[in-house]
Amino acid sequence: MVKEIGGAVVNGVDSFDFDPSAPPPFRIAEIRAAIPKHCWVKNPWRSLSYVFRDVFVIFALAFAAICLDAWFVWPLYWIAQGTMFWAIFVLGHDCGHGSFSDSPKLNSIVGHILHSAILVPYHGWRISHRTHHQNHGHVENDESWVPLPEKIYKSLDLATKLMRFTVPFPIFAYPFYLWTRSPGKEGSHFNPYSNLFNPSERKAVMTSTICWSLMFALLVYLSFAVGHLRVLKLYAVPYWVFVMWLDLVTYLHHHGYDKKLPWYRGKEWSYLRGGLTTIDRDYGWFNSIHHDIGTHVIHHLFPQIPHYHLVEATKAAKPVLGKYYREPKRSGPIPYHLVKNLVASISRDHYVSDSGDVVFYQTDNELYKITKM
């Protein structure tokens, strides 16, 4: 484990006024008990109201862009529509967690519709995301933006390192991750025989892959029926804005805090300790648009809480969490401040040690110099 000496920075680890890697002085049951009972209640009609709202906005934006069809309108449309694609991803994400409703059938139907519409294989992603939540903060077993052990990192060629650790390339990673996962991991979210899934999950994964394929085929058909350029402007560009949102948000939920946070292995890891390394973020005007997904610590610990109760649940839990809760920096209407966090982390957080049960990100100084040239 990397240690601090006299408040100094040792091996890239900033000084805290307490040890964030130490076992917390509270149990997860105490956090649960602090959260009001109504925060656990899932209202399917309320959840569906957000779906209807977002889908209405998506079609309204597309209709307005088609009618106006001016050069200055399209960039505004792409940003707005890509943000709405991200919003419906979050609702599909809630379906995957079962926080959308108590009905698995309703969750699956809505999840497939929302995620297939934005080219996400619902069950394939749902299962790998479940793995992420069950192993958050674990070096080897986590699934999303997991750190590279030093041996794997040093086996990568320079081009791969530059693509992975130079902004803006990492914020376009999601579609490629769906097909090939991260370095050091094998499997595909589309292949029911991938080692991501148990044999009992293969039928569900195949169903989602078929739904994804039908959506892709529809887009190909529309590109010939109404024109490649129109599909590019109405769908493809907003899709990549959505991908940027997804990668930005999911990365910053687990990286880029002002002071380095621990990752765990072996006996040092626990569900609670891993969850406490997640980070809440404030996205300004976008908080309500993307359904408060920035309220992430409580979501990670209790993913069954509906998104519309996360802010209240977090407020109730903060007295228990104490210093283990890191208050997010308040944002203006547009969260420009998060770009600094993203760039600083991606350019410096390259790998973790191959040994040790509590580790912190380290920097490849040679790569850092290259990316700063």
Q: What beta strand segments (E) does the chain contain?
A: 263-264, 358-359
d(CA 149, CA 146): 9
Give the global pTM. Answer: 0.92
d(CA 323, CA 18): 8
pLDDT value at 9 more than 70:
no
pLDDT value at 350 more than 50:
yes
Cα distances from 290 to residues 57, 286, 341, in angstroms, run: 13, 6, 20
d(CA 39, CA 344): 36
Q: What is the chain's length? A: 373
pLDDT value at 371 more than 90:
no
pLDDT confidence band for 7 (50 / 70 / 90): very low
pLDDT confidence band for 243 (50 / 70 / 90): very high
Instruction: Give the pLDDT of residue 372.
Output: 78
Q: Over the chain, what is the mean pLDDT?
A: 93
pLDDT value at 238 more than 80:
yes
Report yes or no: 181 and 90 within 8 Å, Cβ to Cβ.
Answer: no
Based on its alpha-carbon atoms, the radius of gyration of the chain, rounded to whole angstroms, reads 21
pLDDT confidence band for 220 (50 / 70 / 90): very high
Instruction: Report, as an integer, the average pLDDT of 100-105.
Output: 98
d(CA 12, CA 348): 9
Task: Kindly list the domain boundaries of the chain, sorted by start residue.
Answer: 28-371
Structure tokens at 305: 């809480």
Residue whose structure tokens are 């309500």? 288
d(CA 192, CA 198): 9
pLDDT tens-digit profile of 126-185?
999 999 999 999 999 999 889 999 999 999 999 999 998 998 989 999 999 999 888 778
Report yes or no: 61 and 81 within 8 Å, Cβ to Cβ.
Answer: yes
pLDDT value at 13 more than 70:
no
pLDDT tens-digit profile of 54-99?
999 999 999 999 999 999 999 999 999 999 999 999 999 999 999 9
- Beta-carbon contacts of 16 under 8 Å, excluding residues fewer than 6 positions away, are 4, 259
* Top mean-pLDDT range of 3-7, 162-166, 298-302: 298-302
Q: What is the dihedral of CA 247, 95, 178, 224, to 10 degrees?
A: -100
Instruction: Give the pLDDT of residue 6.
Output: 34
Residue whose structure tokens are 């899709």? 239
**Single-letter amino acid code for the residue at 145:** W
pLDDT confidence band for 4 (50 / 70 / 90): very low
Report yes or no: 281 and 296 within 8 Å, Cβ to Cβ.
Answer: yes
- Of 11-15, 243-247, 287-291, which gets the smallest average pLDDT? 11-15
Other CB atoms within a 10 A radius of the CB of residue 94 amount to: 29
Cis peptide bond N-terminal to 168, omega within 30: yes
pLDDT confidence band for 16 (50 / 70 / 90): low
* Cβ density class 65-84: b for 16+ within 10 Å, e for less: beeeeeeeeeeebbebbbbb
Q: Residues of the chain with pLDDT > 90: what percent?
A: 87
d(CA 212, CA 116): 5
Q: Is the dihedral of CA 299, 302, 306, 310 positive or negative?
A: negative
pLDDT value at 2 more than 90:
no
pLDDT tens-digit profile of 116-138?
999 999 999 999 999 999 999 99
d(CA 104, CA 119): 21
3-state secondary structure 132-176: HHHCCCECCCCCCCCCCEHHHHHHCCHHHHHHHHCCCHHHHCHHH
d(CA 180, CA 167): 20
Instruction: Report, as an integer, the average pLDDT of 49-55.
Output: 98
Q: Residues of the chain with pLDDT > 70: what percent?
A: 95
Phi, psi (deg, nearest 5) at residue 59: -70, -35
